[in-house]
Amino acid sequence: MVDDIEAAEDWLNSWTASVNAQAERAAQLSSRVAGLRGEAESRDGSIRVTVGSSGQVEKLELDDRVQRLAGADLAREILGVMRRAQATLSKQVSAEVAATVGADTETGRAVINSFEVRFPEQPDEDEREGGDHRGR
């Protein structure tokens, strides 16, 4: 019976250590993701967008070349660059997941899926009709 109690204590200590290590890796992931930024720019560099860790636009830079675009075209171009910046962020998050909690863990899969659903990979500029963009 003493051996059973010692085995149970060993198992409990091992399980507690595992949970603590997993929590520490999750905290590291959260901290790393909070510091990420996604960036993209149009092929000609006239539009640049930076998004923060939750995908929100933090910086939008437009140079004078955008004045030659109609309003609807400019809006479409800005949104396209923004979506590529967000997709870049999603890829960065996937890399951080792999480096911390692991992409094959339940937590890792959930985080990656969350970003991929919100910010899916965008078509390559050559695949887009009239594509005039480049991600960084």
Other C-beta atoms within 10 Å of 13: how many? 10
Kindly report, residue by residue over 7-66, the tens digit of the pLDDT: 888 888 888 888 888 888 888 899 999 999 999 999 999 999 999 999 999 999 999 999
pTM: 0.78
Higher pLDDT, 87 or 124: 87
Domain limits for position 32:
2-135
pLDDT of residue 132: 47
> If pLDDT is split at 50, 70 and 90, which confidence band does 136 have?
very low
Vertex 24 angle, CA 13 and 14, to 5°: 15
CA-nearest of 94, 78, 95 to 132 is 78
Which of helix, strand or coil describes residue 39?
A: strand
pLDDT of residue 23: 85
pLDDT of residue 1: 67
pLDDT (mean) for 116-122: 91
Structure tokens at 59: 């910086």
What percent of the chain stands above pLDDT 70? 89
Amino acid, res. 30: S
Q: How many domains does the chain have?
A: 1
Q: Does residue 134 carry a pLDDT above 50?
A: no
Vertex 46 angle, CA 45 and 47, to 5°: 90
CATH number at 7 reads 3.30.1310.10
Cα 121 from chain centroid?
11
Contact yes or no for 113/83 (Cβ under 8 A): no
